[in-house]
Structure 1
Amino acid sequence: MTAAYPHTRLRRTRASAWSRTMHRETVLAPANLIWPLFVTEGAGVEEPVGSLPGVSRWSVDLIVKRAKEAVSLGIPCLALFPNTPRDLRSDNGLEAMNPDNLMCRATRAIKDACGEDIGVLTDVALDPYTSHGQDGLIDGGGYVLNDDTVEVLIGQSLNQANAGADVIAPSDMMDGRIGLIRQALEAEGHHNVQIMSYAAKYASAFYGPFRDAVGSRGLLKGDKKTYQMDPANTEEALREVAMDLSEGADSVMVKPGLPYLDIVRRVKERFEVPVFAYQVSGEYAMIEAAAAAGAGDRDALVLETLLAFRRAGCSGVLTYHAAHAARLLNG
């Protein structure tokens, strides 16, 4: 105890639960969660994803049940990802343009069942539709072609918006696609369809289980380092965000999550816009493995990591723990 401040005790406000609640700087609520869901063919189908304990692919009818569950839990938005059948994947990913593809059918079914009670965020990228597993069209050497890919992404975005998507979320990392997608949405009358740009998406080692879930891991030829960001870079992320905002993005995303909280903080402080993070499949799997090994309490690990995103500046978090976390938060 210093002589100058003999009565200062920072522990005083921590001494009781009511006081800790009153002085809490950061709040985590179900409204801050987005629930990623994987869609598969069939009816009444639930396919557990082996590398993602507790996560399944769901047929469209069961996705609707998950949507109703999300509404009841206070989760405001779902993010959809399709497990496109192998025979519908091609070098040019044209299944992405099919108005009756898995993504569009699931979107329509959710909006028909739940209306404006929940938002639907749809992924824009070609990796769930290509036979080579890349996010875009490739040349003879396997290099992903930027401008050719963007033309397909525009059509994919309009296809999803026509199906009822509330938020278009380009995850492909092609240059210039946000502005061109925004222009196309405006031209087609989709003035209120939001764009959440995967602005700072890193070429990460944490994506493996996701690729299992959408069926692209065994198909992927090469890597994605020519278009996803180098994990060593920070300033580049700020340039990516600035470019996407200037082109009309309504919000931006940092992906992965916990290993990139420094990026979240810098983006939030620099731009003062809604920033989201994706707690990706590898992060989820590590928490589940730690809990299964007795290395930590699952509930506490889930809530503490999600709170970290909010503390860093996230408006919301895409997390496979969304429903579980919402139940914990709802008491």
Structure 2
Amino acid sequence: MTGYNAYPETRLRRLRGTDPLRNLARETRLSPKEFIYPMFVMHGHGVREPIEPMPGCHQVSLDVMSDEAGEAAELGIGGVLLFGLPAEKDPLGTEGYDPEGIVQEAVRTIKRDHPDMLVSTDVCMCEYTDHGHCGVIDNGKIDNDQTLELLARTALTHVQAGADLPAPSAMMDGQVWAIRQALNAEGYDDTPIMGYAAKFASGFYGPFRVAAGSSPQFGDRKSYQMDPANSRMAMREIESDIAEGADIVMVKPAMAYMDVIREARERFNHPLAAYNVSGEYSMVKAAAQQGWIDERPVTTELLTGIKRAGADIIISYFAKDVARWLQE
């Protein structure tokens, strides 16, 4: 054989022989600045409750959360994403949009103690409702438009507390639009929104629902979260969020949806986030604890694959671990 890319003249292994050569030739690089670290915050003091299906993750009170956020800042992680565990739940999830609610207090605490840390907040109702669904129940169904008003109120209280990046995840039609209108009306025109644009009705959310206490008490979420079989619909969802005013769009989960991440990257110019969700995290942790895989290279490979597929931002419970490894 002769010509370009022909052996023996071309030997692609030449660039793989040493660490310095591999580093020079590396096409995709992870950076802590591109990570967002999710946190579960609850009332109380000195609380650091392990989340059984998510080894290494905890439900934490405000004081412990501040320490963890500070650690994330020291590691160079780009931001945190807050989920709240309320003192009480009710049908309308009222603590979610209470100006003195747990997430609002958490935002104020982080901004007081770590003012440069970017704080994103999950804007949904499932953690706060006694029925565990992401919206208002009316005649046994999720009422989309009644829910929009409460999501907008929630996001506004988060931003008033100091949140930098509200992130609506309820998968209600018009949720980004409703939040954009509410923020603009109160003078928060410059506050960006990260839309959970293509959020699938996934079996990978199980450990999260334990962590957030957000399992639905009846039915499921298939009437509002996306069918995992649909990638064309995912593009419509992303396009819709962009039209409604989203500044960042998201694909969730990540591992089983690399094709969706890639297609979104090719079709849209908006910053693209991918959520490396709880089930993905737990599978790696569990297999590593059994000695079946080596956690560090598997985790790094997984997150590199998410970025290689096209994600600009990776939301991951592995963020602190990987940030430490990258410093070595």
- Shorter-chain TM-score tier: over 0.9
Segments of 4+ moved more than 6 angstroms: none
> 1:272 aligns to what?
269
Question: Per-residue deviation at 1:277?
Answer: 0.7
1:250 corresponds to: 247
> Deviation at 1:193?
1.6
- For the residues of structure 1 that align with 2:86 and 2:287, how far apart are their CA atoms? 31
**Cα distance in 1, alignment partners of residues 52 and 90 from structure 2:** 25
Aligned to 2:91: 91
The CA deviation at 1:207 is 0.5
Alpha-carbon displacement from aligned partner over 1:260-312 (angstroms, at most 9, x marks no partner): 11100000100122111111110000000110111111111111111111101
Matched to 2:296, the amino acid is D
Q: Give the match's secondary structure for 1:207.
A: helix
Q: Which digits, 9 at most, give the CA deviation of each residue in 1:67-99, with x for residues without a partner?
A: 1101100001000001123xx211111111211
Instruction: Return the letter of the residue paired with 1:176.
Output: G
**Where do residues 43-58 of structure 1 align in structure 2 (5 Å cutoff)?**
43-58=45-60
SS at match of 2:30: coil
Q: How does 1:99-114 map to 2 (within 5 A)?
A: 99-114=99-114
Query: Which residue of the partner structure matches residue 326 of structure 1?
Result: 323
Match of 1:140 in 2: 139
Which residue pairs with 1:225 in the alignment?
222
Match status 1:212 vs 2:210: yes
Equivalent residues in 2 for 1:5-84, closer than 5 Å? 5=6, 6-84=8-86
CA contact (8 A) 1:34 1:78 kept: yes
AA aligned opposite 1:288: K
The 3-state SS of whatever aligns with 2:299 is helix
Structure 1 residue 259: Cα displacement: 0.6
Percent identity of equivalent pairs:
46
Match of 1:261 in 2: 258
What residue is the counterpart of 1:289 in the other structure?
Answer: 286
In structure 2, the gaps of 5 or more residues are none
SS in 1 for 2:190: coil
Tell me, in whole angstroms, the C-alpha distance in 2 between the residues paired with 1:118 and 1:76.
Answer: 7
Count matched residues.
325
2:233 is matched with which residue: 232, 236, 241?
236
TM-score (norm 2): 0.97
* Aligned counterpart in structure 2 of residue 311 of structure 1, from 282, 285, 308: 308
> Is the Cα–Cα contact under 8 Å of residues 176 and 244 in structure 2 kept in the other structure?
yes
Deviations 1:162-186 (A, max 9, x none): 0111001000000011112112111
How far residue 140 of structure 1 moved from its aligned partner, in angstroms, is 2.1
1:120 matched to 2:123 = no
Q: Is the 8 A contact 1:84 1:215 kept in 2?
A: no
* Alpha-carbon distance, 1:20 to partner: 1.0
How far apart are 1:232 and its partner, in Å?
A: 0.4
- What is the CA–CA distance in structure 1 between the aligned matches of 2:316 and 2:298, rounded to whole Å? 13
Which of 194, 197, 209 is residue 199 of structure 1 equivalent to? Answer: 197
Residue 158 of structure 1 aligns with which residue? Answer: 156
**1:178-189 aligned within 5 A:** 178-189=176-187
State the alpha-carbon separation in 2 of the partners of residues 69 and 220 from structure 1. Answer: 36
Is the Cα contact below 8 Å between 2:95 and 2:102 reproduced in 1?
no
